């Protein structure tokens, strides 16, 4: 990753979904005219890079609502584990930066940062990043609720039961057979 695009890299790390990443890049003026005009192209590109890592065995991420205080302590330096590999999130953001540059979606001159200016830049952009983060928290919280409901329903059986009198199917949980009227079970209260 080119050091001068570390701001883009940080915004991509801060974004928990391609949509949020796009919103961050757009709000801070990092997208080129082409990137601003092709919102879905940018989002698809970011997602395609993410999916390629998942296809290679990286664990999928589920965006979750989080606190804005985590952003205040956000790591503003690109670092790998000493003697180890680059963390997957850092690798993903680096690959996304390269893909955005190659596609012509970044306004590179507007996004350049000197390495010693990164912390001050992050402190300046933190209010905008936090506002976008909070907007997307509402979406992620709603999605978490839907996932929880789907998980709860996944454990419930929905296949029909068979009436012992007429042998026809009746909806699971029915009190009486819809065909012959035989009592099947006590009502649940």
pLDDT, tens digit, 9 for 90 and up, residues 70-86? 776 666 665 544 455 77
Mark whether 16 and 37 lie in a shared domain: yes
For 81, 121, 174, the CA distances from 58, given in Å and listed in that order, are 17, 31, 44
Mark whether 110 and 189 lie in a shared domain: no
Mark whether 95 and 174 lie in a shared domain: no
Place of tokens 């302590």: 73
Rounded Cα distance between 122 and 136, Å, is: 19
Mark whether 110 and 144 lie in a shared domain: yes
Mark whether 81 and 53 lie in a shared domain: yes
Mark whether 89 and 167 lie in a shared domain: no
pLDDT, tens digit, 9 for 90 and up, residues 87-102? 888 889 999 999 999 9
Domain that holds residue 36: 3-154
Mark whether 128 and 167 lie in a shared domain: no
pLDDT, tens digit, 9 for 90 and up, residues 127-150? 999 899 888 888 888 877 877 777
The answer to whether the beta carbons of residues 161 and 178 sit under 8 Å apart is no
Mark whether 108 and 188 lie in a shared domain: no
Q: How many CB atoms neighbour CB 1 within 10 A?
A: 18
The answer to whether the beta carbons of residues 105 and 45 sit under 8 Å apart is yes
Number of domains in the chain: 2
pLDDT of residue 1: 44
Mark whether 136 and 184 lie in a shared domain: no
Mark whether 122 and 178 lie in a shared domain: no
Mark whether 149 and 177 lie in a shared domain: no
Select the more confidently predicted residue: 2 or 128.
128
Q: Is residue 111 over pLDDT 70? A: yes
């Amino acid at each position: 990753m080119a050091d001068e695009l570390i701001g883009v890299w940080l915004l991509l790390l801060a974004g928990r979904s391609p949509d949020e990443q796009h919103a961050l890049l757009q709000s801070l003026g990092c997208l080129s005219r082409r990137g601003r005009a092709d919102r879905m192209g940018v989002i698809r590109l970011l997602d395609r890079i993410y999916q390629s890592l998942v296809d290679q065995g990286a664990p999928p991420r589920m965006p979750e609502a989080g606190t804005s205080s985590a952003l205040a302590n956000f790591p503003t330096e690109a670092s790998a584990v000493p003697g180890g590999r680059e963390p997957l999130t850092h690798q993903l953001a680096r690959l996304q930066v390269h893909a955005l540059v190659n596609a012509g979606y970044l306004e590179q001159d507007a996004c350049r940062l000197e390495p010693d200016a990164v912390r001050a830049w992050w402190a300046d952009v933190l209010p905008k990043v936090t506002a976008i983060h909070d907007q997307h928290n509402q979406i992620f919280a709603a999605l978490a609720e839907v996932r929880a409901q789907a998980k709860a329903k996944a454990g419930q059986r929905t296949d029909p039961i068979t009436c012992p009198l007429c042998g026809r199917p009746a909806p699971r949980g029915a009190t009486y057979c819809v065909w012959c009227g035989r009592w099947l079970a006590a009502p649940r209260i």
